[in-house]
Structure 1
């Protein structure tokens, strides 16, 4: 027991680790909450698109010494507007448009990085650096995350209906176009929140995996939210601890742990797991 207590207590004696653990937990919670809506809506590819599209904004923010969140948010929203515009004006399907936009934006970011190698740390942009997060970045992340959670709390029922059945939401008078862009704006804000922890490449996992885990465990949305938040916070905190002891990428450890939890859940989930389905099948046979 003492060894377990020591295992958890030793790293947080250092200020940078305590800050990293708390920030990872907060980021995990924010991402998990939005992840439930993303899972119901089937927007994994959209999350991937927006997360990659913020790259040039982050690079430009570093180059001009501006808050990285500002550049990331502007380019995230720009990518969303570009996807909506191209889809509405052409016959190209949404998944193709998403692929075109996010690869174009991401490539622009790589060009900017290659032209300014001394100003931008590519690894920190792509894979995060929560262990080295500064106090201003902490404040910025907490403020943006809190705003995101507040908006979701206020609009939770409308967003749930929109994600579950947009046609029904429209039929009862909800402005589904506004909800579409609100959800995408929340997605952009959440990506900004998660950038410091896991970076651009891995942020989509933070936005998808907790919701996927919870979706296998329950059919009720309120319980789904609870399970997602628990898995998001647990994997974020434990991933940060593992990165300290393994001397490995913090974002990578968080996402690998989330993936392992998903695999275990996929097998042992009481109703929708593989073992449960095999039992049902054997009974029917």
Structure 2
């Protein structure tokens, strides 16, 4: 078994997958904590699925797929931030509409693209084994952006996340930081697409955070614990995927769900 692990680590694609897994786990741990605390899981899901429109547009126009998904996801995040702050009575309908519209746009442009893109399924269900050097650079930049924003605006984000009315009274721009949280969520979602895919990305953001909530008493601790669990899920999921030749995204999420159930049972 040890020899098999050493041999697997000698391959470049496995090394890239491990690096990517650690990088995206750090982002998922931090952003997942904000998603749970702010109760915007459904909003993050809407951003994730609407970003498929950017993937379809990128394929049609021959652009880098992650670039197209990033632009589309950021636009969706800003639009959702504006709409949900000004009209809270129909949030579910609006998000559902954007969710479906983004997927529909992506499907239409993929259908209009001559030929068949064999790599397309990896963006739906994830393929960490197929991560490239460019993807790793993208994830590294994402981590730097997220860490900078959290370190620079931690107190403001903390106030907005737990008590927006108090934050407003303290002179904090609630609209700005709420929009910032959604934009960071959009960037994290796009980066995580390569690891677990659009279908499972919300699970990667939420499962480690649900576990971290059981052990953390403050937001910063929750972020750290969540990131650690996300790394463990990704590494073990990748190992299972490699040795048993099954989907990496599904393996990572199954490891996470099983761990969550075990922790819940132990805590009870």
TM-score under structure 2 normalisation? 0.92
Which shifted more, 178-187 or 203-212? Answer: 203-212
Match of 1:70 in 2: 67
1:270-285 equivalence runs, <5 A: 275=268
Q: Secondary structure at the match of 2:63?
A: coil
Deviation at 1:159, TM superposition (A): 0.9
Map Cα deviations across residues 202-250 of structure 1 (whole Å, 9 max, x no partner): 1111111111110122323333222111101100111111100110111
* Structure (1 or 2) with the larger CA radius of gyration: 1
Deviation at 1:86, TM superposition (A): 4.4
1:52-131 equivalence runs, <5 A: 52-87=49-84, 92-116=89-113, 118-119=116-117, 121-131=119-129
Q: Which runs of 5+ in 1 are unaligned?
A: 270-274, 276-285
Q: Distance in 2 between matches of 1:177 and 1:91?
A: 14
Match of 2:263 in 1: 265
Conserved? CA contact 1:56–1:105, under 8 Å: yes
Name the CA shift for 1:125/1:180 in 2 (closer, same or farther; >3 Å).
same
After superposition, the CA RMSD in angstroms is 1.9
Q: Distance in 2 between matches of 1:104 and 1:88?
A: 21
Deviation at 1:87, TM superposition (A): 4.6
Q: Distance in 2 between matches of 1:166 and 1:203?
A: 27
Conserved? CA contact 2:78–2:183, under 8 Å: no
Q: Which runs of 5+ in 2 are unaligned?
A: none
Deviation at 1:151, TM superposition (A): 1.5
Q: Distance in 2 between matches of 1:192 and 1:157?
A: 26
Deviation at 1:85, TM superposition (A): 4.7
Which shifted more, 127-136 or 52-61? Answer: 127-136
TM-score under structure 1 normalisation? 0.87
Which shifted more, 140-149 or 153-162? Answer: 140-149
Q: Distance in 1 between matches of 2:238 and 2:28?
A: 16
Match of 1:173 in 2: 171
**Bigger relative contact order (CA 8 A; separation at least 6):** 2
